[in-house]
Amino acid sequence: MSSQDIPEENLPAAQSAGHDEHGHGAVSVADDKHPFADPGLPPHEHRVQDVDERAAKRSERSVAFLFTLSMLATVGFIASFVAIPVDKSVFIFPLGHISALNFALGMTLGIALFCIGAGAVHWARTLMSDVEVADERHPIEAAPEVREKVFADFKQGAKESALGRRKLIRNTMLGALTLVPLSGVVLLRDLGPLPGTKLRHTLWSKGKLLVNMNTNEPLRPSDVAVGSLTFAKPEGLEEHDHDFQNEIAKAALMIVRIQPDNIKDKRELEWSHQGIVAYSKICTHVGCPISLYEQQTHHVLCPCHQSTFDLSDGARVIFGPAGHALPQLRIGVNDEGYLEALGDFEEPVGPAFWERG
């Protein structure tokens, strides 16, 4: 479009003649030193909220509604996290069958965040001051008068935001901003369920048979030779069980037969059967499975960090970073001649229990 097509009153020269002395709309003339003209700022146009208090009230209520909706969505997020089962699915067109929990969490958290943003934008565009102010660039270091100007501008901006006067907006905004972080706090539950007393107990109990991990058959004393290392699990625990990994991580057992005369610890001898001793397979350092056995010394070695335990002396630690001895399981023989547990471990199995429990 050429200048001939622009109405005369809209030409820069005509605009500059009608604008105030503060430079709003002023147009400088280009010269050799400044080849580009400065069009200045356009004239300020008042919004309907600036001149009509009823319109301002409507905008205030709209902003408050968005902040309130954000609060309700946050409450819905928390309620969904607690009430909806993890395995429940729903059909949502056109997404198909999806997790009900994921859908509810995504929708509620998205609405909560969107409403805070939309409320802030609507507040800024309709109620906060929209006067544009031009300021010259200044050196990086702040002179005293600049600092005073910054503080004055901040106070002026705070005043023009009407935060103190628009109490409905202020209160609902603070409520929304206070509740939204609760979504992140609730998500901490996904770090895992609280252990309660589960770490203090395993599947071993009085009468549970010792089942060979390789053959899946109950063990007899004759199945355990002197100098051999056998791994066992509790009767009834199968690999296809949904909680197999969690349970075997606590109940895994290693069985060694030692000549009774070579057992140094009195309690270990009392809890054994004809020199057959049963100890937790889980290292007390970081929970690695112990699998290396030295027949001559009756030492077992954890392959992760070389913690070494003496199975002939109460499985005490003789080397490495493990903090305490391996828990022993008291065993005996039932009427049918099978090895059985006479109870659970006396102490929790695994690493650093007292720090975790």
Of 207, 345, 222, the closest CA to residue 275 belongs to 222
Listed as ranges, residues in the chain with pLDDT below 50 are 1-26, 357
pLDDT in tens, 215-241: 999 999 999 998 889 999 999 998 888
Per-residue model confidence (pLDDT) at position 352: 65
pLDDT at residue 291 in the model:
84
Three-point CA angle 153, 158, 162, nearest 5°: 140
Residue ranges of alpha helices (H) inside the chain are 12-18, 48-51, 53-83, 100-126, 144-160, 167-179, 181-187, 244-251, 266-270, 353-356
Q: In this predicted structure, what is the pLDDT of residue 34?
A: 73
- Specify the pLDDT at position 142: 76
Quote the CA–CA distance of 333 and 341 in Å, as a whole number: 8
DSSP 8-state assignment for residue 4:
G
Q: How far apart are CA 198 and CA 186, in angstroms?
A: 22
Encoded tokens for 196: 């309660």
List, as own/partner pairs, every contact residues 319-322 make where C-beta atoms lie below 8 angstroms and the sequence separation is at least 24, other chains included.
320/285, 321/285, 322/283, 322/284, 322/285, 322/351
pLDDT tens for each residue of 201-213: 899 999 999 999 9
pTM over 0.85: no
Side by side, which strands form the sheet with 316-319? 292-294, 299-301, 308-310, 316-319
Rounded Cα distance between 319 and 321, Å, is 7
Predicted local confidence at residue 4, as pLDDT: 43
The whole-number pLDDT of residue 12 equals: 40
